[in-house]
Chain A
Amino acid sequence: EDQVTQSPEALRLQEGESSSLNCSYTVSGLRGLFWYRQDPGKGPEFLFTLYSAGEEKEKERLKATLTKKESFLHITAPKPEDSATYLCAVQANTDKLIFGTGTRLQVFP
């Protein structure tokens, strides 16, 4: 069964304290792994798509990496405005996305 597990569930960081969020997956035939950011009461905002092991993508303070079993979202020198829930999702052999439960990130000044 296709499955996505995110850790930690919640993360509190001091402003400037870099860290990483983990997304572990088991899927038959990965077509893509997606990272989204979701603010309270809003829809998810697309961040990255990764398609193959070894691929990396960056956007401002965020960097996403992918291996055959997991993906990491690295946050470098985070700011309070980076506080949100970060969702990971995988797409297997269908159009459907399978979401993890997310990591709630809080960055304190």
Chain B
Amino acid sequence: GAVVSQHPSWVICKSGTSVKIECRSLDFQATTMFWYRQFPKQSLMLMATSNEGSKATYEQGVEKDKFLINHASLTLSTLTVTSAHPEDSSFYICSARRGGLNNEQFFGPGTRLTVL
């Protein structure tokens, strides 16, 4: 149990275009999902926290108008990178937290975004 998927696993786009990344919890309902960004040889940096049916909470320095997050159901959250630029190229990883007493977050396999 506790499988999280992401789609696509990698994407290459032109500068100025928008890219949507999906995160799904496959075998549990996720009350909260999280979006992280990871640069090479660095640790995970939290971008935003997403609760089903409410607005996402963004970390300081993360532009909410650039990184649009939608958590429409208990199994799906999406991250849309709008007007992407080369500096947005990174490894984007989502995680999902089950409800209840356990606090474990289960991570997706990540999406490699390259903006040309």
Contacts and interface: CB of A to CB of B under 8 A. Distances in A.
Interface of A: 31-32, 34, 36, 41-46, 49, 87, 91, 95-97, 99-102
A34 B112 CA distance: 24
Contacts of A36: 107
Interface of B is mostly: strand
A18 B86 CA distance: 42
A41 B106 CA distance: 16
B6 to A, nearest CB: 8
20 contacts: A31-B103, A34-B104, A41-B110, A41-B112, A42-B110, A43-B6, A43-B93, A43-B95, A43-B108, A43-B109, A43-B110, A46-B106, A46-B107, A49-B103, A87-B43, A96-B46, A97-B34, A97-B46, A97-B105, A100-B43
Contacts of A44: 44, 93, 95, 107
Q: Which of B49, B97, B103 has the most CB of A within 10 A?
A: B103
B42 interface: yes
A45 to B, nearest CB: 7
A96 B105 CA distance: 10
B112 A91 contact: no
B54 interface: no
Contacts of A45: 107
Contacts of A34: 104-105
Question: Quick one: which of B32, B34, B105, B107 has the most chain A CB within 10 A?
Answer: B105
A34 B105 CA distance: 9
A31 B32 CA distance: 16
A24 B43 CA distance: 16
A2 B34 CA distance: 19
A63 B43 CA distance: 22
A100 B95 CA distance: 17
Nearest to A97: B105
A49 B102 contact: yes
